[in-house]
Amino acid sequence: MRPGTPPVLQLTGVTKVYGEGETAVRALRGVSLRVERGDYVAIMGASGSGKSTLMNIIGCLDVPSGGTYYLDGTDVGALDERSLAIVRNRKLGFVFQAFNLIPRMSALANVELPLAYGGVKAAERRRRALAALDLVGLADRVHHQPNELSGGQQQRVAVARALVTAPTLLLADEPTGALDSKSSEDVMKIFDRLSASGRTLVVITHEEEVAAHAKRVVRLMDGQIVDDVRVTPVGGLPPRFAEVAP
């Protein structure tokens, strides 16, 4: 690690409380987490342990109740709505469990969307979107609409959409939760390749099989980190990459 480069992610004492009074739910109870550039982190935990809550905060989709959050050196809490939109667009790529593609728009149009919001010119946009779709192995499905694609294909379109802007951090919340094992394997291979090429990934999962792809595994319980294990070094290759390498 070069000195002076800020960590991609620096959470300190982050808390999140849903609701108020007696019905208040303390989903996060002081989470501190630091993720360096190039790392591949799996966040594990039982259902209800606060994984999605944490991910939504990291993805700037939600705001924490307490604590600080630095993304790539900037204090996210101090950003206004405008700057937040730019951060989501340029620095973050989000893959949801439910795919969340926009219906009745072709795969290509879906992948182009973040570039359009980022002000990229039409021709350049198309070129990059096609490249991203090619990377996830869907070069022959670019004009299909989401309802004409299988779950695994939809999720790969979503991955292409998340990585097309070349974000600093790629986030995935149970990306294989709605997929069969074959499709899951496809998606995890893509993640391995992205990690091998130097991208920073944070993936949420409750499946050990998925977590085994990560360089580092963080375990969450009742809104707190209870375990943090490094499998391979930040600068190294992901543990399962050798198996998928051509």
Partner 1 sequence: MNPVEVLRFALRGLSANKMRSALTMLGILIGVAAVILLVAIGEGSSRQIQQNIQQLGANTLTITPSTFGGGGGGGGIARVFARAGGGQRQNTGPRTQAKNLTVEDARALADPANAPSVKSVSPVVTAQAQTATYEGASHSIGQLVGTYPSYFEASNKPVAKGAYFYNDDVLAARKVVVIGKTVADDLFGTVDPIGKQITVSGVPFTVIGVLKETGSSGFQDADDVAIAPLPAVQQSLTGFGPLGQILVQAKSAQAVDAAQSEVTEVLNQRHGITDPANPDYRILNSASLQETVSAAIGTFTVLLGAVAAISLLVGGIGITNIMLVTVTERTREIGIRKAIGAPKGAILGQFLAEATMLSLVGGLLGVLIAVIGAQFTIAGVKPVIVPTSIALALGVSVAIGLFFGSYPANRAAGLRPIEALRFE
Ligand X SMILES: Nc1ncnc2c1ncn2[C@@H]1O[C@H](COP(=O)(O)OP(=O)(O)O)[C@@H](O)[C@H]1O
Angle, helices 107-117/81-90, rounded to nearest 10 degrees = 130
Smallest distance, ligand X to C-beta of residue 239, A: 24
Scanning residues 184 to 243, which ones bind partner 1 (CB under 8 A)?
none
Q: Break the chain down into helix, strand, coil percent, rounded to 5.
A: 35, 25, 35
Residue 52 interacting with Mg ion (CB under 5 A): yes
The contact mask relative to partner 1 for 108-137 (x = CB under 8 A, - = no) is -x---xx-xxxx------------------
CB nearer to Mg ion: pick between 52 and 165: 52
DSSP H helix total and E strand total for the chain: 8, 10
Residue 69 interacting with partner 1 (CB under 8 A): no
117 interface partner picked from partner 1, Mg ion, ligand X, none, CB below 5 to 8 A per type = partner 1
Q: Which stretch binds Mg ion (CB under 5 A): 22-30, 51-59, 82-90, 228-236?
A: 51-59
Residue 167, CA distances (Å) to 19, 94, 212, 213 in order: 32, 10, 23, 20
Smallest distance, Mg ion to C-beta of residue 10, A: 23
The secondary structure of residue 224, as a DSSP letter, is E
CB nearer to Mg ion: pick between 54 and 101: 54
Residue 77, CA distances (Å) to 64, 118, 150, 170, 230 in order: 8, 22, 38, 20, 29
104 interface partner picked from Mg ion, partner 1, ligand X, none, CB below 5 to 8 A per type = partner 1
Instruction: Select from 65, 69, 161, 155 the least CA-distant residue to 111.
Output: 161
CB 188 within 8 A of CB 210: yes
* Binding-site ranges for Mg ion (CB under 5 A): 52
* Binding-site ranges for partner 1 (CB under 8 A): 56, 59-63, 81-82, 85-90, 92, 94, 100-105, 109, 113-114, 116-119, 161, 165
